[in-house]
Amino acid sequence: MAGLARTVLGDVDPSGWGVTLVHEHLVVDWGELQGKPKLRFGFEEGVGRIVERLAAARADGVGGLGECTPIGTGRYADVMVEASRRSGVAIVGATGFFHEGWTPMHPLAKALDVDALTDVYVREITEGMGATTVRAGLIKCATGEGSIPVAEEKLLRATACAHRATNAPIVAHITESMEKEQLDIFESEGVDPSAVCISHVGSGERWQERLLGALRRGANVSVDMITYDFAPDEERIGVVRVAADAGFAGQVMLAHDALVLQSGPEQMFGIGPSDFGYIPRVFVPRLIAAGVDAAAAWAMVRENAQRFLARF
């Protein structure tokens, strides 16, 4: 392994984690951005529910995950720390902000310029998230549908600048499109596409063309939303096969995009799945049965994800 992964418990070599899921969530709480009461749960109650789910995943071979919840949407560093300690699952926290398509943009994201946002991201990676000393180990960014507004472009450029300053991996959310446009901005700021994992690929118009275009540029992709009702296994397997058959299996990672605790807008997706062990227990065997090379399939949830996160 070339470097270390920055977890909420410190920098570690991830090569011993086993199954590593690049894009997951423990808590998703939209209340702060929507001006509504925030999710309420007692610390012990919340941590207990999360540990229960992580312990079950641990029994299925999961040893590490990227917790991709950005600032202001349910990112509780103290919960991540305690959940990791009790479950034995390594957790990589995120800095960054979400896009403005689903909720109002975070006030800080709106108010700060690229340089100031970069300073926020770098401080969270090198010193600690929010008012804590728990350091982030990845940068989350996101774009909405159809185009990249000026406000979202600003966040992408700050993400690129913070990556250059820290080498932190970038996990980029797309809403059915914008792979090319995101990579254009990142590369214009000097980011090697191999430092980027584009999440939620494989849907929308021309998804195969867009997917292969990103892979040819050297970016990584996350085939995720596995276990969501609107993304059946057969569809997700089809996305993996397009990438693997074209020779890009080494740039593919898998994830559920699951969560344990959630507050609105539930109407968007319903209450999300929370089975973090489904991929190694069910999905990878199905992937292999569908014709994907077994070594390549397991690498997608082991070596590929570990290598991507180990940049420190």
Residue 265 is predicted with a pLDDT of 52
The one-letter amino acid code at 41 reads F
CB 54 within 8 A of CB 48: no
pLDDT band at 224 (very low <50, low <70, confident <90, very high): very high
pLDDT band at 33 (very low <50, low <70, confident <90, very high): confident
Mean per-residue pLDDT for 38-62? 93
pLDDT per residue over 227-245, tens digit each? 998 999 999 999 999 999 9
Average pLDDT, the chain: 94
Sort strands 19-24 and 10-12 into parallel, antiparallel or unpaired: unpaired
Residue 179 is predicted with a pLDDT of 97
CA nearest neighbour of 90 among 24, 148, 179: 24
More confident site: 262 or 4: 4
| pLDDT of residue 141 exceeding 90 | yes
Q: Which two tokens stand for residue 79?
A: 């919960």
pLDDT per residue over 90-111, tens digit each? 999 999 999 877 778 899 999 9
CA nearest neighbour of 140 among 299, 255, 25: 25
Residues in a beta bridge with 141: 172
CB 144 within 8 A of CB 152: yes
| pLDDT of residue 264 exceeding 70 | no
Domains of the chain as residue ranges with CATH: 5-309 (3.20.20.140)
CB 243 within 8 A of CB 10: no
pLDDT per residue over 149-198, tens digit each? 999 999 999 999 999 999 999 999 999 899 999 999 999 999 999 999 99
DSSP state of 195: G
pLDDT per residue over 282-310, tens digit each? 999 999 999 999 999 999 999 999 999 99
